[in-house]
Amino acid sequence: MLWPGTATAHLVTTGMGPVYDGIGHLLLTPEDIIPVVALALFGGMRGAESCRKLLMIVPLCWLLGGITGFGGTNIPDFPVQAGSLLLIGLLVAGDVRLPVPVTVGIAGLFGLLHGFMNGVTLNNELEPLGLLGITIALIVIITIVSALVVSIAEGWKRVAVRVGGSWVAASGLLMFGWYLKGA
Amino acid sequence: MKTDKSAWLVLAAWLLLMAFPFEAAAHIAGGQATGFWTGLEHPWSGLDHIVAMVAVGLWGAQLGMPALWVLPVVFPMLMSVGAMLGLLGIPVPGVEVGIAVSAVALGIMVLGEVRPGMVVAMLVVGFFAIFHGHAHGTELPAGQSGLLYSMGFILGTGCLHGVGILIGLVHYYPLGKGLLRLTGGCIAVMGLFFLWHAVT
């Protein structure tokens, strides 16, 4: 991952089988990984209880969405990634205190939509087992990132997380611009 | 605690490295391989933009918490709105004048160590950010698209604010206060030059 050089394959191929290809895909796809990290940051800011629920709901919904997506051919005509970045970025930047069920609902919808898009996109590129790799990577990332943030009480570290959230939201807004422009 | 720090470092390094995929030509991420660099460079492409963004950081440092971080958060957010308008071809009147006036106004704020309420400071910064964003939005190069460009663009802006904040920390030293105000004065003068350039 440090110096990938010229990648000419359609998707990341690790040479170690579809599960690792799935892990590699998630880790090296900014459109997926940045919203996931942002969601984990948000979960962490909302405390351990939210984190535990996120840890169950996001991978599960992603998996379900992915399985559904494998049978689909069309991705939604809506910039899901831009929407995720904007919404989650704003939640992190604003340190918004949502009730746990609402947080879980957003996380579930997020997982379903991204998973579905993954499923459709990967349909001809990756074996279904790749989805398992993506799910495993999701669990690890959410666990690590949210655990790091849970330990932050107040102070500059929390401010840094919020600033990061605002950058994610601003990027999402810009992506909406690209989408509306039709680029 | 040590593990905590190491984990943060690993996470930061990984995110940073992910932003530099070099010559990746994968179909799914097509057209974005060089997007991060181009996006990162874009806010640094004009001195008028640079001084205004640095001035935001300077003013934030002068105002102290929470303006120190709130202003550099407001600017990129509203700049994205402006960039979106620019991308969509929605006109904003007097963009170049607005950018020049932003340098003058923010320079004066720093020079005079003006301390308005938080909301007023946010409105001032946010208002001018729209002009900067619009200019960037209309200038965005053809063929660049996607998340990496956007992230680079926002990160580049954030770095400029960061430079301003770091310089602005001299405010906490007796001699630094005067120097910081002097810097604000210089920015205002530069803004006047840009303004003269924009209207002639």
Q: Which DSSP string corresponds to A26-38?
A: HHT-HHHHHHHHH
Q: A162 to chain B: nearest residue by CA?
A: B73
Which positions ≥6 away from B79 have C-beta within 8 Å? Answer: A170, B129, B130, B132, B133, B136, B157
- Tokens linked to B58: 């300077």
- Tokens linked to B12: 């930061």
Query: Residue B6: how many CA atoms within 13 Å on its side-chain side?
Result: 3
Tell whether the model's pLDDT for residue B71 goes beyond 70: yes
Whether chain A has a CB inside 8 Å of the CB on B147: the answer is yes
Tell whether the model's pLDDT for residue B140 goes beyond 80: no
Of B72, B77, B153, the CB nearest to A169: B77
A95 — alpha (psi -120 to 50), left (phi > 0) or beta? left
Give me Rg for the CA atoms of chain A: 16
B93 vs B58: CA distance, rounded Å = 27
3-state secondary structure of A9: coil
Tell whether the model's pLDDT for residue B179 goes beyond 70: yes
B147 vs B151: CA distance, rounded Å = 6
Burial of residue B12 (number of CB atoms within 10 Å: 0-12, 13-18, 19+): exposed
Supply the DSSP symbol for B29. Answer: T
B130 vs B136, higher pLDDT: B130
Whether chain A has a CB inside 8 Å of the CB on B135: the answer is no
Whether chain A has a CB inside 8 Å of the CB on B137: the answer is yes
pLDDT cut 90: percent of chain A above it: 5
* pLDDT tens column, A50-107: 888 888 898 999 888 888 887 766 766 778 888 888 899 999 988 888 888 888 899 8
Task: Tell me the one-letter amino acid at B198.
Answer: A
- Tokens linked to A47: 């405390």
Residue listed under structure tokens 């209207």: B199
Supply the DSSP symbol for A125. Answer: T
Mean pLDDT of B139-158: 74
Tell whether the model's pLDDT for residue A143 goes beyond 80: yes
Tell whether the model's pLDDT for residue B28 goes beyond 60: no
**Comparing A105-119, B37-51, B78-92, B132-146, which segment has the lowest mean pLDDT?**
B132-146
Mutate to test the interface with B, among A174, A178, A179 (most CBs of B within 10 A): A174
Q: Is the ipTM of this complex over 0.95?
A: no
Report which of A80, A88, A50, A79 is spatially closest to residue A167, judged by C-alpha positions. A88
**Comparing A25-29, B53-57, B77-81, which segment has the lowest mean pLDDT?**
A25-29
Q: How far is CA B138 from the centre of its chain?
A: 17
Alpha helix (H) residue ranges in chain B? 2-18, 35-41, 47-63, 67-88, 95-111, 118-139, 147-168, 174-199
pLDDT band at B18 (very low <50, low <70, confident <90, very high): low
Report which of A72, A62, A147, A144 is spatially closest to residue A108, judged by C-alpha positions. A62
- Sequential DSSP letters for B104-145: HHHHHHHHTT----HHHHHHHHHHHHHHHHHHHHHHPPTT--
pLDDT band at B123 (very low <50, low <70, confident <90, very high): very high
Q: With beta carbons less than 8 A apart as the criterion, state whether A142 and A40 touch.
A: yes
A165 vs B32, higher pLDDT: A165
Mean pLDDT of A37-50: 87
Whether chain B has a CB inside 8 Å of the CB on A176: the answer is yes
| CA angle at A126 for the pair A122 and A130, rounded to the nearest 5° | 100
Give CA torsion, residues B26, B27, B33, B36, to 10 deg: -130
Report which of A110, A134, A19, A23 is spatially closest to residue A58, judged by C-alpha positions. A110
A42 vs B103: CA distance, rounded Å = 35
Distances (CA, A) of A91 to A41, A47, A62, A96: 10, 14, 20, 5
A170 with B88: Cβ contact below 8 A: no
Mean pLDDT of A110-114: 88
pLDDT band at B199 (very low <50, low <70, confident <90, very high): confident
Supply the DSSP symbol for A16. Answer: S
What's the pLDDT score for residue B108? 92
Average pLDDT value over all residues in chain B: 80
Average pLDDT value over all residues in chain A: 80
Mean pLDDT of B160-172: 87
Whether chain B has a CB inside 8 Å of the CB on A153: the answer is no
Whether chain A has a CB inside 8 Å of the CB on B60: the answer is no
Of A4, A162, A175, the CB nearest to B147: A175
